[in-house]
Amino acid sequence: MSVRTRDWLKFGTLVAIAFVFGLAFASTLNLPKQTSATASIVSPQPAAAVAATPIPQPSLKATAELGDAFVGIADHVRPEVVFIRSQHVERAQDQRLPPGFEDFFPNLRRRPQVEQGSGSGFIVSPDGYILTNNHVVAGADKVTVKLYDKREFTAKVVGTDPNTDVAVIKIDARNLPAVQYGNSDSARVGEWVLAIGNPLEFNFTVTAGIVSAKGRVLYGLQQSRYSIQDFIQTDAAINPGNSGGPLVNIRGQVIGINAAIASETGYYAGYGFAIPINLARTVMDQLVKTGHVERAVMGIGILDADENDAAAVGLKQITGVVVKSYSDDDSPAKKAGIQLGDVIVALDGEPIDNTPQLQQKVAFKKPGDAVEITVLRQGGERKTITVRLAHAPNDADTDVAKTASKSKSDNASTKEEMLGITVQPLTSDDAQNPRLKPVIERGGGLAVTDVAPDGPAFQRLRSTDDPGGPDIIVAVNGVPTRSRAALREALRKVKPGDVVTLQVLSRTGDSSDGWLGQVVRIRAR
């Protein structure tokens, strides 16, 4: 074999090997197979294209079912929601002019000022009763209701209750779709809810969220000291115009009336509040029956118990409400034997955790009803007391309750230091002071002349330098204290860390003589 022939064989072998390796390499790239001439004109796929990760079918199914549930609720409830427009005309008197001069001074004739507002409501009966907020229709001369089917009616205001912000209106219509009620007491924090209404006049808008808290008190919204508040908090978007609309659970049942938002701008900022439907229905039933709400009172001022209150009565957990004051000497609770400083932990055997809970439970009672109040007292004594509820003072001011280093030395100054205060007994000379005369007539007490800013009584007691001060201490741990010696004796067994219960008189304009008795608890240092 010639050298030339051998070279050609060698070259052919290398080409064959290269071809085989090329096919193997191409197969690793998953290149598209071409089966015909037309394959050459198929547009190539972008080099960066990556197949999306498929969503697991169970997740898709659950999401779709939740979305379908929201759609079903919205379709069912929206026809039961109404748009409300209220109008109030402020009629101003014309300025008086001599007869015949009116045409020369037309600008002196003031036209009536028309104030308009809007909100929401929902139909509660086929014959036209509608539930909404008091502040949506309060003071209105004319109330207009627009239904989901675009029909409009002039409504009659059946009754309003400012203390719960609930109102009932009625339109002359029949066979209307009415809402289904849920049980607001059983609503759970974290469950889905929908808010339906007419925010910013975007009619019949639906927003979704969860129940984010229960039993909220919004002191800035209180119309009076007798307002009852037990709001459901939600993060479903609520804006002006949503007021009066329903808060609906995942079963399409109304559990609240949207009433307020927490915002510095006046628009939705993440927190909305609804009146529990159980409370609203109780108010509504009375408004429909009589046009007004008749409530019972216990005649006490209450606040949520704090850690000092819990420690004083031996509670391991901070719960219940503390009796801070009496409404007057005719207080039903006072007559029954409930004492200032008692911590109410149950009503008719049902646990009481906070102020709104007690307010709502008593709100469901009637004047004359007897309730069993379970209280804990200083030292852990537990008592159950029967209180017969009385009529509220009047329809404008009704409610359940007002929403109100260890030392060895034993001298008075040291005992005062345990509380971080300085006191001075009232004298006969103080009787010449018109402000102090009522206190002297009650037997006197110890005026708080100074409160240490780093002491336990700071911001709990008012001194002579504070606006409205001073507070007058009349008893310590149930022992009357009309002198510094009496104070020393009352504090003789108190050790640092112990909770001390003070009965004080505070200056106020609410009581007849300008002084209100209440309880203040301080942990001794």
3-state helix/strand/coil string of 439-456: HHHCCCCEEEEEECCCCC
What is the predicted pLDDT for the residue at 42? 42
CATH match of 296-402 with 2.30.42.10: yes
Q: Of the given ranges (7-21, 413-427, 486-500), which has the lowest mean pLDDT?
A: 7-21
Beta pairing partners, 296: 391
Q: Say how many CA atoms lie within 13 Å of 189 toward its Cβ.
A: 7
Q: What percent of the chain has pLDDT over 70?
A: 74
CATH class of the region 60-93+107-293: mainly beta
Residue 373 pLDDT grade (very low, low, confident, very high; cuts 50, 70, 90): very high
Interval 439-448 mean pLDDT? 81
Paired tokens of 169: 């209106």
Give pLDDT tens digits for 249-284.
999 999 999 987 766 566 666 788 899 999 999 999
How is 220-275 classified by DSSP, letter by letter?
GG-SSTT----EEEE-S---TT-TTPEEEETTSEEEEEEEEE--SSSS-SS-EEEE
Distance CA 275, CA 208 (A): 17
Proportion of the chain above pLDDT 90, given as a percent: 36
Q: What average pLDDT does the structure give for the chain?
A: 79
Minimum mean pLDDT range among 231-235, 281-285, 337-341, 360-364? 360-364
Confidence grade of residue 5 (pLDDT, cut at 50, 70, 90): low
Q: Which residue has the tokens 């009803």?
A: 369
Closest by CA to 178, choosing from 83, 278, 79, 73, is 79
Q: Which pLDDT value is given to residue 399?
A: 35
Rounded Cα gap, residues 91 and 111, in angstroms: 8
Q: Is the pLDDT of residue 49 over 80?
A: no
pLDDT interval class at 104 (50, 70, 90): very low
Q: Among 259-268, 312-321, 440-449, which is the least confidently predicted range? A: 259-268
* pLDDT score for 409: 42
Question: Which residues of the chain form CATH 2.30.42.10?
Answer: 296-402, 412-523
CATH superfamily of 412-523: PDZ domain (2.30.42.10)
* Position 221 pLDDT exceeds 90: no
Identify the pLDDT of residue 292: 85
What pLDDT does 308 receive? 92
Put simply, whether the predicted model's pTM sits higher than 0.75 gets the answer no
At 326 the pLDDT is 87
Domain with CATH 2.40.10.120 in the chain: 60-93+107-293
Q: Is residue 19 scored above 80 in pLDDT?
A: no
Q: Is the peptide bond before 98 cis (omega within 30 degrees of 0)?
A: no
Average pLDDT over residues 170-196: 94
The pLDDT of residue 148 is above 80: yes
As a whole number of angstroms, the distance between CA 411 and CA 407 comes to: 10
Top pLDDT among 24 and 498 is at 498
Of 81-85, 238-242, 387-391, where does the model show the most confidence?
A: 81-85
pLDDT of residue 514: 76
Cβ-contact 138, 161 below 8 angstroms: no
Which residues are marked as active site?
A: 135, 165, 243
Core vs surface per residue 243-270: b (16+ CB within 10 A) or e:
bbbbbbbbebbbbbbbbbbbeeeeebee
Which pLDDT value is given to residue 404? Answer: 42
DSSP per position, 270-309: S-EEEEEHHHHHHHHHHHHHHSS---EE--EEEEE--HHH
Q: What does the alpha-carbon distance between residue 303 and residue 320 come to, in Å, rounded to a whole number? A: 9
pLDDT in tens, 395-442: 433 334 434 433 434 455 667 788 888 888 877 666 667 777 777 777
